[in-house]
């Protein structure tokens, strides 16, 4: 495990512990946080409503069911990357370059509503002298 990955895991654990479930909706690009859950690989992610009005219980439920489908091997594609229907939502993981550029791991959308799973921000390590 590289040092950067270890820092990512440590920061994600802190973020997951500190998160609080609240009601949320948003029409902005940055989105409102609904709390945390985990990807199929066990990586903590922050669930955000990126577009439209969606209750946090719905957002978290859709993301958890999406993760469970991937974990069970029920989603086609490399690592479950193909689009899949989850309770009327279409969910799909992003490709690694996009994840690294944006921090967004996956999205689910239904009509004009969109929720995203976002990796917690990781502080940039500083060089030791």
Q: How many CB atoms neighbour CB 92 within 10 A?
A: 17
Is-contact 51 114, C-beta < 8 A?
yes
What are the residue ranges spanned by the domains of the chain? 3-118
Q: How many residues does the chain have?
A: 129
Low-confidence ranges of the chain (pLDDT < 70): 1-30, 78-80, 123-124, 127, 129
Three-state SS at 120? coil
- The 8-class DSSP code of residue 57 comes to H
pLDDT in tens, 17-40: 233 223 333 333 357 899 999 999
Burial of 118 (0-12, 13-18, 19+ CB in 10 A): buried
Q: What is the model's pTM?
A: 0.70
The mean pLDDT value of the chain amounts to 77
| Chain position carrying tokens 């690009």 | 29
H/E element, 50: strand 44-51
């Amino acid at each position: 495990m590289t040092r950067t990955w270890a820092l990512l895991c440590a920061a994600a654990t802190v973020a997951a512990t500190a998160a609080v479930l609240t009601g949320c909706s948003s029409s902005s690009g940055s989105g409102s946080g609904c709390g945390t859950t985990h990807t199929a690989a066990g990586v903590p992610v922050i669930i955000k409503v990126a577009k439209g009005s969606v209750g946090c219980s719905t957002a978290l439920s859709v993301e958890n069911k999406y993760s469970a489908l991937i974990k069970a091997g029920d989603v086609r594609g490399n690592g479950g990357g193909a689009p899949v229907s989850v309770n009327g939502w279409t969910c799909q993981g992003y490709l690694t370059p996009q994840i690294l550029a944006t921090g967004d791991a996956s999205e689910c959308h239904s009509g004009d509503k969109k929720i995203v799973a976002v990796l917690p921000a990781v502080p940039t390590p500083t060089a030791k002298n």
